[in-house]
């Protein structure tokens, strides 16, 4: 599974993307648990980061699979 | 509603024309500029960052949603990414509608929605007056940023174009025929004389005047393949002639011996064939005509043709000096039985085999997985690396903790041009440049190697050697291609056979069995999903 980080989250993880070998499918809680284990620094951003799966915002029922591209979206500030 | 969305690193044009729609009465434009202060501090610009593919989709989706509430005719949105100096527009929105009210309403709601859901960020503010320094520090070659750069994920076409733009044809050298296999001919070679050089018989038989009425002939001579005995034949005269032998004069035909009754020095013709059974002088090629074009890669057939034209020395591309590193502690030699967690090295022989076509001087070395011992091993290969035209690194191209291809290339002085291509398999492909040298970091599994080599490495080698670029062909699917829609463009391993293209079984890029059969790669567009049998598809030959 490919996981992308943007904006200030790059400073937290020290990279802009990782390839993670995770059991799949995962629900949102399982995904976060696996990610926080690797990047504990993300915990304080948990409250205001949205997840996307293959370029669409994930919702409570989204399942994340191995072939997916998942991104962590901190609050946006375009325009 | 017609929608156009662009993300751009360049300034937005001063004047943008409204779409050519007869129905619109209103054309509303908005430009959001970067102010010269942020939170009370004077700044010289802002740096924007985007999750590009998703941002474009979200903008489009937002516009579609809003146009249901406020019916408009067309919208154009341009958003800058990268550094935008204060005073310049970071965003442009143009909306066409029948009347002004719906355009104004849509614009207001669009800008609110953009600031909530579209993944674009103001990454940082640039302190006042430092913008030139800042731009310089970002582009200064050789400087490695402390945190990795924004991944620039290229499309297949963009990546190919980028690779070609960084490769220049190497100077040509003279080489004998025997050393020219796999090189690219860098001069056009013309026929020095007609081929064949004179009229020659294609049958064992008897040469006679082609316009004679006579049925019986007197044999006046006998010609073997190597004979050259010109003479004028008279009516009633025949010459015994062997296949390939030169005819004694013009205006003749050859009658096959099977159609002749022979009695001592005399023959009687039983039947005249329709064909004169002669290969005419210059029939194959006339003197001066091009035999092999410049830019052709020399295979056995072309070399035979050049030999027949008397060209023993050729102007060709130089032998390619290539250094190939394999990485990964899990790799064991093919003859060794892998322990749990280990795999046999198939990439070394794969790369060697794929390069065979290109006439290479290949140096292969396995590197330890830790960066420091790898560095010391590389130091002992310094001169080979410096002399190489191309550096290939297998494995370690991803972004795992132990994946050191990128730092390794940077340490060797390469500037990374891109580190991802939006293709499956083979997405984490690294391409770097160091002066005239180029480097590829190939993702570790063999199928990704196979795909990346045929797509990208071969494109670079063609350009370096001055060969003609490889092109996608078009063919028909013999069997349905079963796939779920995937956001990436896919190169699907396939076999081109008599009935058309047969997609091979392939579910993960770790699969290897399809390597035994694949001779083509089918190009499956992003989000395409399954393709019906009989459909026309693009494919790339992968038969070496």
Looking at the structure, tell me whether residues B340 and B455 fall in a common domain.
yes
Residues B334 and B447 in one domain: yes
Interchain contact A56–B (C-beta under 8 A): yes
Of B79, B116, B399, the CB nearest to A17: B399
Give the pLDDT of residue B9.
82
CATH number of the domain where residue B64 is located: 3.90.1170.40
Q: Find, in chain B, the residue whose alpha carbon is nearest to that of A7.
A: B123
Same-domain check for residues B449 and B483: no
DSSP assignments along B79-136, one per residue: EE-EEEETTSEEEEEEEEESSHHHHHHHHHHHHHHHHHHS-EEEEEEEETT-HHHHHH
| Neighboring chain B residues of A77 at a CB cutoff of 8 Å | 115, 120-122
Q: What is the pLDDT of residue B246?
A: 94
Residue B335 pairs in a beta bridge with none
Q: Are residues B8 and B125 in the same domain?
A: yes
Residues on chain A touching B400 (C-beta within 8 angstroms): 18-19
B205 shares its domain with B327: no
pLDDT of residue B530: 92
Question: In this complex, do A11 and B120 lie within 8 Å of one another by their Cβ atoms?
Answer: no
Same-domain status, B504 and B436: no
Cis before B309? omega within 30: no
Instruction: Please check whether residues B82 and B138 belong to one and the same domain.
Output: yes
Q: What are phi and psi of B36, to 5 degrees?
A: -95, 15
pLDDT of residue B85: 87
Instruction: Write out chain B residues lying below 8 Å of A56, CB-based.
Output: 54, 57
Would you say the pTM of this structure is higher than 0.80? no
pLDDT tens readout for residues B239-279: 999 999 999 998 999 999 999 999 999 999 999 889 999 99
At residue B141, the pLDDT reads 37
Number of structural domains in chain B:
5
- The pLDDT assigned to B341 comes to 83
pLDDT means over runs of 10, chain B (544 residues): 88 84 84 88 87 92 94 93 90 94 95 94 75 39 40 82 91 92 91 87 95 89 90 92 94 94 94 92 87 93 92 92 90 90 90 94 90 85 92 76 79 91 88 94 90 95 91 93 90 92 83 90 92 94 88
Residue-by-residue DSSP string for A8-42 = HHHHHHSSSEEE----SSB-HHHHHHHHHHH-GGG
In this complex, the residue of B51, B398, B420 whose CB is nearest that of residue A6 is: B51
B178 shares its domain with B312: yes
Peptide bond preceding B26: is omega within 30 degrees of 0, i.e. cis?
no
Q: What is the pLDDT of residue B91?
A: 96
The reply to whether B425 and B367 lie within a common domain is: yes
B161 within some domain: no
Query: Do both B338 and B230 map to the same domain?
Result: no
Task: Give the chain B residue nearest A77 (alpha carbons).
Answer: B121
CATH number for the domain spanning B258: value is: 2.170.190.11
For residue B62, is it within any domain? yes
CB contact under 8 A, B79 and A78: yes
Cα(B62)–Cα(B79) distance, integer angstroms: 15
Q: Does residue B160 belong to any structural domain of this protein?
A: no
pLDDT of residue B11: 86
Residues B145 and B12 in one domain: yes
Residue after which a domain boundary falls, among B446, B465, B484: B465
**Domain end among B444, B465, B486:** B465
Domain that holds residue B532: 473-541
Among residues B467, B489, B409, B486, the alpha carbon closest in space to that of B442 is found at B409
HSE of B274 in the Cβ direction (CA atoms, 13 Å)?
Answer: 0
The reported pLDDT for the residue numbered A63 is 94
Q: Is residue B156 part of a domain?
A: no
Q: Say yes or no: B415 and B310 in one domain.
A: no
User: What does the pLDDT look like over B117-172, one tens digit per residue?
Assistant: 999 999 888 777 543 444 433 333 333 334 344 456 788 999 999 999 999 889 88
């Amino acid at each position: 599974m490919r996981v992308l980080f943007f904006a200030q989250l790059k400073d937290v993880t020290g990279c802009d993307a990782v390839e993670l070998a995770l059991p799949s499918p995962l629900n949102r809680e399982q995904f976060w648990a696996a990610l926080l284990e690797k990047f504990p620094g993300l915990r304080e951003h948990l409250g205001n980061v949205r997840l996307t799966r293959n370029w669409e915002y994930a919702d409570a029922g989204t399942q994340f699979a191995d072939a997916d591209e998942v991104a962590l979206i901190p609050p946006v500030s375009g325009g | 509603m017609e929608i156009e969305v662009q993300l751009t690193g360049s300034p937005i044009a001063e004047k943008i024309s409204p779409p050519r729609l007869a129905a619109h009465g209103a054309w509303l434009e908005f430009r959001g500029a970067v102010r010269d202060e942020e939170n009370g501090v004077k700044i010289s610009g802002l740096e924007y960052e985007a999750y590009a593919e998703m941002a474009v989709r979200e903008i489009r989706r937002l516009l579609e949603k809003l146009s249901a509430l406020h019916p408009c005719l067309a919208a154009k949105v341009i958003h800058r990414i990268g550094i935008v100096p204060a005073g310049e527009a970071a965003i442009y929105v143009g909306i066409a509608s029948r009347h002004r009210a719906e355009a104004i309403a849509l614009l207001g709601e669009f800008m609110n929605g953009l600031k909530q859901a579209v993944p674009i960020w103001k990454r940082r503010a640039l302190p006042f007056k430092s913008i030139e320094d800042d731009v310089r520090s970002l582009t200064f070659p050789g400087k490695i940023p402390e945190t990795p750069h924004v991944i620039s994920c290229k499309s297949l076409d963009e990546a190919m174009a980028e690779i070609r733009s960084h490769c220049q044809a190497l100077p040509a050298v003279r080489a004998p025929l025997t050393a020219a296999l796999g090189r690219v001919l860098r001069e056009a070679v013309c026929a020095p004389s007609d081929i064949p050089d004179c009229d020659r018989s294609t049958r064992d038989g008897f040469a006679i005047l082609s316009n004679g009425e006579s049925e019986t002939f007197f044999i006046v001579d006998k010609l073997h393949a190597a004979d050259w005995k010109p003479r004028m034949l008279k009516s009633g005269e025949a010459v015994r002639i062997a296949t390939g032998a030169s005819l004694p004069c013009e205006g003749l035909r050859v009658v096959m011996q099977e159609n002749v009754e022979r009695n001592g020095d005399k023959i009687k013709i039983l039947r005249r064939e329709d064909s004169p059974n002669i290969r005419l002088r210059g029939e194959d090629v006339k003197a001066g005509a091009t035999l092999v074009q410049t830019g052709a890669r020399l295979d056995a057939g072309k070399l035979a043709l050049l030999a027949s034209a008397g060209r023993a020395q050729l102007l060709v591309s130089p032998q390619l000096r290539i250094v190939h590193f394999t990485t990964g502690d899990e790799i064991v030699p093919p003859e060794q039985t892998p322990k749990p967690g280990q795999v046999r090295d198939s990439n070394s022989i794969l790369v060697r085999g794929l390069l065979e076509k290109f006439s290479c001087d290949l140096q292969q070395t396995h590197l330890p997985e830790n960066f420091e011992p790898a560095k010391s091993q590389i130091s002992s290969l310094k001169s080979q690396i410096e002399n190489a035209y191309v550096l290939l690194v297998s494995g370690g191209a991803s972004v795992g903790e132990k994946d050191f291809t990128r730092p390794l290339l940077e340490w060797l002085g390469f500037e990374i041009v891109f580190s991802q291509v939006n293709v499956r398999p083979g997405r984490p492909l690294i391409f770097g440049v160091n002066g005239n040298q180029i480097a590829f970091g190939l993702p570790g599994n063999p199928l990704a190697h196979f795909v990346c080599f045929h797509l990208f490495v071969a494109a670079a080698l063609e350009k370096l050697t001055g060969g003609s670029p490889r092109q996608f062909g078009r063919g028909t699917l013999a069997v349905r291609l079963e796939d779920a829609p995937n956001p990436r463009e896919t190169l699907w391993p396939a076999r081109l056979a008599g009935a058309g293209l047969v997609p091979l079984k392939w579910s993960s890029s770790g699969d290897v069995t399809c390597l035994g059969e694949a001779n083509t790669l089918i190009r499956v567009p992003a989000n395409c999903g399954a393709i019906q049998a009989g459909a026309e598809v693009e494919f790339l030959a992968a038969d070496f």
